Structure 1
Amino acid sequence: MEAAKPYRELTKEKQPSYLDVVIKNFEKPFLFVGLILMIVIINYQTFFRYSISAVLNMIGTPEFEQLFGTWVDIEGLRVSIKGAVGWGIWTEELARYIFIWISYLAVSISIISRGGIRVDVIHNRLSKRYQDIVWLVIDSCTLILVFLFSFMGLDYVKMQLVMPQTTPALQIGYYIPYLILPIGFGLMAIRTLQSLWRQSRGMNVLDICTGLLIPAILFAPVMLSDEWNASLLLFGYFILFLLMGVPIAFSLGLSGLMTVLGAGTLPVDYLAQIAFSSIDSFPIMAIPFFIAAGVFMGAGGLSKRLLALGDELVGALPGGMALASIMTCIFFASISGSGPATVAAIGSITIPAMIARGYDKYFSATVVACAGAIGVIIPPSNPFVVYGVSAQVSIGKLFIAGIIPGLIMGVALMVVAYLISKKNGWYGEVRERSLKTFMSAAWQAKWALMVPVIVLGGIYGGIMTPTEAAAVAALYGLFVGICIHKELTFKNFWSSAQDAAGISSIIILLMAMATIFGNIMTIEQIPESIAELILSMTSNKFVILIMINIFLLWIGIFMEALAAIVILTPILLPLVMAVGVDPVHFGVMMVMNLAIGFITPPVGVNLFVASGIANVSIGGLAKSIWMYLLVMIAVLLLITYIPEISLFLL
């Protein structure tokens, strides 16, 4: 009999090799370095431009001329300083290209971890065997898409080498930034192959063949004929891929590819160029910055200080901890711009605390899940950024339009939580609360409270663009977490940067693929046709807004908010503008509708996060949201039909 091996040797055998670790984490160092470089570069741009502007304004004052005019050539000094403006001209372009690179590199991680946004209602109801077959279909279709994009991207790079062009600011060949298409999508293809191999290892041969044959059947119609109806292909394949559980971004890309192949709407080679140019946008860069700011500040200890302040304000009332949780979500909403991030940051602290104090665990989770929806209404807000880019509307105006509706939503939720808590005898913590304790809590939370002042003050003071304000907020969150609170360790810093890059990459890929989808809709004049159809039925503004509200609430049940915005904005905006709705007001209305979708199963992401923290079932949690849901819909209708509420501060 063979002697048993020592435990140390057994452990050593189970440890992955250095090569395995490198392969598994290949993208992560690039994401970390890229995100930090972006933050530093845009902060340099912001402070450099602001400094130059301040110095020029100072030189232009009569007082400066009186004091220094005899010793200094003021006009020559002014010319020299204006010449220095060129020192910062490269920053925006370099940051954009880094942003595109890390966005597409990060997508490969979401592929191997299956972290994409998808509609899995039908998929989850299948047996394990059929789920495995569907995963093979999903991975096979994804592989076809990313391989074609990699191949088309390589052709575009070759074309740039044959007919070289240089970028305006950096003066480098365009082939360098465009290399991300063959590299990024090629890496996605490798990760998809890994996922296919991992999925197929435990399956029988018949199921594997079935899973690989179905994609061929799906592609057969468009490969055999190019005379199909474009609208039928676009929406038919999109719905089919959604129902199969293909991530929404890849569903958009695949349906666009099918339409191009089967109807000849666009040249196929043009798709790769859209994948690059659609996200080569400075405003879109605000998304990873706002996500990074929220993640850094949550990991850096700002959440618990905000909670302490909220507890000082409302903690003595019935349901004090629940009210403090909602108030803290309102505070944190002005930092994160994300609903699930708000639930995760605040709920991880408040839900266990409420349960420990005797609150019902379903009530505790529901309160935070609903309050987390405010995270996308109060600025900064990632959905507002996406809507602003899609609708070509001022992001700054959208931010300020969301303030009052978000506060009204928060107050409404607090009223419901107060009444339920009073009925059930859940009273606040009995302890001393005074001006002194409030001032102490406010002082501890001062660094967190400065974030909305910096972001909104910088935007509306004309000092920074929304993207620059987001980068400043991210750097500020890093500084506070590392240097002041000292709770953001390198390990937390590393994982937080990975989380921020990963979350934002899913959104960015979604926007890129939605641009392809939207271009085809525009060419086929689908939005105009839908608007004409509805207006032929009724031109009553009240009826049309009711129809849109019902439609968006229904969409929010099945689709993630950002995906719905990029897909539906080109369709619905022409319709509402035709009946005289302000596009800024419609943006608030649309985001509030889809924010409610965060708490409506089966795709209510806030419910998933809160249920995981509270360790309760989604079904039980869904049954406890109805009172809050009705109140949130009532607030939505109030905002919809009284546009002055959202437009008051503009």
Structure 2
Amino acid sequence: MELNEGGSYGQQTSSSYPINYRKQHFAKKLIQLVNDKFEEVFIVGGFLSFIILINLQVLNRYILPFVEIGNITTWTEEVSRYMFIYISYLGASLAIKKRESIEVNILVQRLPYHLQQSLSFATSIFMGIFSVVLIYKGFQMILMQIEMNQTSPALGMSMAIPYSAVPIGFSVLLMRIIQIAWEDVQKMVWKDVGISILITSALCLPFLTLGPSEIVVLLFGYFIIFILIGMPIAFALGISTLATAMATGAIPLNFFSQAAFTSIDNFPVMAIPFFVAAGILMGGGKIIQKLLKLSDELLGFLPGGLALVAVVTSMFFSAISGSGPATVAAIGTILIPTMVKQGYSIAFSTAIIATAGSIGVIIPPSNPFVIYGVSAQQSISKLFIAGIFPGLLTGVALMVVSFLISKKNGWRGERTTFCLRSAFTAFWDAKLALIVPFIILGGIYGGVMTPTEAAAVAAAYGLIIGMFVYKDLNWRSLYTSLSKAGVTSSVIIMLIVMATLFGRLITLERMAEIVATFVLGISENTIVILLLINLFLLVVGFVLEALAAIVILTPILMPMVIELGIDPIHFGIIMVFNLAIGFITPPVGVNLFVAAGVAKINIEKVIHAVIPLLLTMLFVLIILTYIPSVSLWLVSFMK
């Protein structure tokens, strides 16, 4: 401190204090911003980039063939794939931070709160260990790529760059796991922390005591235990596989980092984030309102008109979103209050919205069909076209039952007559929304685009329509929508990665053949076996989310299906339809909970109202199971 003129001290300190304070405040704000928005910024930027790149690829092929910019189809696809891998792991870390992973909480929710916290912390410990292994092996993989001097086919860049997505992605994941673990610890007393450590230690005992002869016990035992304690399903798959591999040496640990890259370095898998983004971009604005208006003009004058509107709008929107819960949330928010206002019971209104939303995974595009196609190595295009008629049949069946229930209860709208002029006006007003299915399906079956390209075009179309035509999207809502799409799709992608690891052990241990032998030992009658498979899948749908069930069960059931001579495309329809029923069956029943949350109604009342609609879905399932032509007749027209 210096003596100033006039003999006073401290003026320099007092004048510099606000500056230092502002610097510290700015630094804190910057750190908080990075903490809050780090993944989001990269996710949104990545989404915008590969939406543009894939659309540029399509445009160059058909509209701009005269532009000489190299083999654009090759390099745009390559860049998009590698960006997609990075974004997937960043989205997964954001899902961890927001605690939005797919998990089974049936048992955990019934436990005392302090024990829930202990289990959550124990789960974080295992997830952290798994991430450390992937980081370590991921860096080894990078060094190997550098040593071998491997380069990418199109750009000629070192493969160490795209492969670095694994250690970088899991490093960010580890950071978020530590963050949520610290949040849990701050809410716990030392006794609960001790319980967490005890649980973790106890779960390590099988790993330390069982050997190579107990692979099946270790793999499925750990998986079931991790599921029951509330671990995200993706990590339950991966960690149970890692524990089994370390205990038995069944597969080398290097396989984990390799599979974390190669399992999603797959262009068809990229259809998932594009379809998710398209559904989110078009689900919260004027498009859904215009579809509801059109459906109302076509059917609102009938008894149960609004219930019919719910089903038809779900069918329209299914051809955009490919997601059941997204359909329920988009339509239910608008329609449930309107139905209640017109005299429908709130329980029935909620039940029909939840059930109609199940059509979202049957009518193409469908994320479960994409997952099944990748898992079973079947044509996604054929699965899409095979789902059209089953989806329409389901919609018609639900409309008939809704009509009868509504007529019995005297539920009808304010209009009693049909007006052609109003219907045509509503049709013309909704034309931009109705074009979307033709863009997607017409592009695929016209041979113009792959499913992934069609999904990217649909996402770009939704973005352009929302921002520049209907103007219900601004930059802030676009940012929020793409961030949400990144989280939602990354949760699905992580399931694919971890299921690849899990499936490796299933294949090595010939578990699919064992299951096939067991089932065929019960009966060799195809009718009986299909009945058993249906019952099994329905039970699985009670407790396991559809996408998780598909990635786990497809490798196990597919060999048996092929041995029985069942068409894999037909079986894909059966599997997805069974699991679609799981959307409206507790205790998981995600559509039920989404719809009940929108309606703010007790879930038990919805379950009672959904029973006749559930029986309708089961009736359609029987038809689809035993009359394959219902699903396959459109496929037969494909070359």
Specify the TM-score bucket, using the shorter chain as the normaliser: over 0.9
Match of 1:63 in 2: none
Alignment partner of 1:29 is 2:41: yes
Q: Is this contact kept in 1: 2:301–2:417, CA < 8 A?
A: no
- 1:50 aligned residue (44, 62, 65): 62
- 2:326 aligned residue (323, 341, 345): 341
Q: CA deviation at 1:223?
A: 4.1
Letter of the 1:46 counterpart: V
3-state SS in 1 of match to 2:212: coil
- 1:504 aligned residue (472, 485, 489): 489
Pairing 1:585-600 to 2, within 5 Å after superposition: 585-600=570-585
3-state SS in 1 of match to 2:71: helix
- 1:430 aligned residue (400, 408, 415): 415
Q: Is this contact kept in 1: 2:96–2:176, CA < 8 A?
A: yes
2: distance between equivalents of 1:294 and 1:113?
Answer: 21
Alignment partner of 1:164 is 2:146: no
2: distance between equivalents of 1:443 and 1:404?
Answer: 25
Q: CA deviation at 1:132?
A: 1.1
3-state SS in 1 of match to 2:437: helix
Match of 2:525 in 1: 540
- 1:237 aligned residue (222, 227, 230): 222
Q: What does the per-residue CA deviation read over 1:351-401, in whole Å, with 9 as the maximum and x for residues that have no partner?
A: 111112221111111111000000000000000001011111111111010
Q: What does the per-residue CA deviation read over 1:431-481, in whole Å, with 9 as the maximum and x for residues that have no partner?
A: 774211111100111011001111111111100000000000000011111
3-state SS in 2 of match to 1:21: helix
Q: Is this contact kept in 2: 1:299–1:488, CA < 8 A?
A: no
1: distance between equivalents of 2:178 and 2:451?
Answer: 39
Match of 2:118 in 1: 133
Letter of the 1:234 counterpart: L
- 1:615 aligned residue (576, 600, 608): 600
1: distance between equivalents of 2:256 and 2:374?
Answer: 20
Structure 1 residues 463 and 176, CA, compared in 2 at 3 Å: closer, same or farther? Answer: same
Match of 1:199 in 2: 184
After alignment, is 140-149 or 370-379 more displaced? 140-149
Q: Is this contact kept in 1: 2:88–2:486, CA < 8 A?
A: yes
Alignment partner of 1:328 is 2:304: no
Q: CA deviation at 1:16?
A: 8.0
2: distance between equivalents of 1:135 and 1:105?
Answer: 21
Letter of the 2:157 counterpart: I
Q: What does the per-residue CA deviation read over 1:614-644, in whole Å, with 9 as the maximum and x for residues that have no partner?
A: 0012222122211111110010001100001
CA RMSD of aligned residues (A): 1.6
Letter of the 2:185 counterpart: S
- 2:242 aligned residue (234, 257, 269): 257
Q: CA deviation at 1:29?
A: 0.4
Q: What does the per-residue CA deviation read over 1:288-328, in whole Å, with 9 as the maximum and x for residues that have no partner?
A: 00011111111342101000000011100111111111110
Alignment partner of 1:451 is 2:463: no
- 2:52 aligned residue (31, 35, 40): 40
Structure 1 residues 432 and 542, CA, compared in 2 at 3 Å: closer, same or farther? Answer: closer
Match of 2:342 in 1: 357
Q: CA deviation at 1:270?
A: 1.4
1: distance between equivalents of 2:336 and 2:266?
Answer: 39
Match of 1:110 in 2: 95
Pairing 1:74-223 to 2, within 5 Å after superposition: 86-223=71-208
1: distance between equivalents of 2:515 and 2:287?
Answer: 47
Letter of the 2:158 counterpart: G
3-state SS in 2 of match to 1:624: helix
3-state SS in 2 of match to 1:402: helix
Letter of the 1:376 counterpart: V
Match of 1:76 in 2: none
Q: Is this contact kept in 2: 1:320–1:429, CA < 8 A?
A: no
Match of 2:4 in 1: none
Q: CA deviation at 1:225?
A: 5.8
Q: CA deviation at 1:577?
A: 1.7
Letter of the 1:123 counterpart: V
Q: Is this contact kept in 2: 1:289–1:471, CA < 8 A?
A: yes
TM-score normalized by the length of structure 1 = 0.92
Q: What does the per-residue CA deviation read over 1:143-178, in whole Å, with 9 as the maximum and x for residues that have no partner?
A: 111121112112211222233211111111111111
Structure 1 residues 353 and 584, CA, compared in 2 at 3 Å: closer, same or farther? Answer: same
3-state SS in 2 of match to 1:267: coil
Pairing 1:307-326 to 2, within 5 Å after superposition: 307-326=292-311
2: distance between equivalents of 1:391 and 1:83?
Answer: 38
3-state SS in 2 of match to 1:462: coil
1: distance between equivalents of 2:358 and 2:28?
Answer: 41
Alignment partner of 1:638 is 2:623: yes
Letter of the 1:17 counterpart: K
Match of 2:391 in 1: 406
Alignment partner of 1:552 is 2:537: yes
Q: CA deviation at 1:82?
A: 11
Q: CA deviation at 1:212?
A: 2.3
2: distance between equivalents of 1:181 and 1:459?
Answer: 32
1: distance between equivalents of 2:563 and 2:633?
Answer: 22
How many residues in Structure 1 have an aligned counterpart in Structure 2? Answer: 610
Structure 1 residues 138 and 83, CA, compared in 2 at 3 Å: closer, same or farther? Answer: same
- 2:559 aligned residue (550, 571, 574): 574
Letter of the 2:306 counterpart: M
Match of 1:462 in 2: 447
Q: CA deviation at 1:180?
A: 1.3
Q: What does the per-residue CA deviation read over 1:531-562, in whole Å, with 9 as the maximum and x for residues that have no partner?
A: 12211221100000000000000000000101
Q: Is this contact kept in 1: 2:303–2:407, CA < 8 A?
A: yes
After alignment, is 218-227 or 312-321 more displaced? 218-227
Structure 1 residues 318 and 431, CA, compared in 2 at 3 Å: closer, same or farther? Answer: closer
3-state SS in 2 of match to 1:89: helix
Q: CA deviation at 1:228?
A: 4.4
Pairing 1:277-288 to 2, within 5 Å after superposition: 277-288=262-273
2: distance between equivalents of 1:314 and 1:345?
Answer: 20
Q: Is this contact kept in 2: 1:300–1:482, CA < 8 A?
A: no
Letter of the 1:365 counterpart: T
1: distance between equivalents of 2:91 and 2:205?
Answer: 31
2: distance between equivalents of 1:143 and 1:584?
Answer: 39
2: distance between equivalents of 1:255 and 1:547?
Answer: 27
1: distance between equivalents of 2:285 and 2:165?
Answer: 33
After alignment, is 261-270 or 274-283 more displaced? 261-270
Alignment partner of 1:293 is 2:305: no
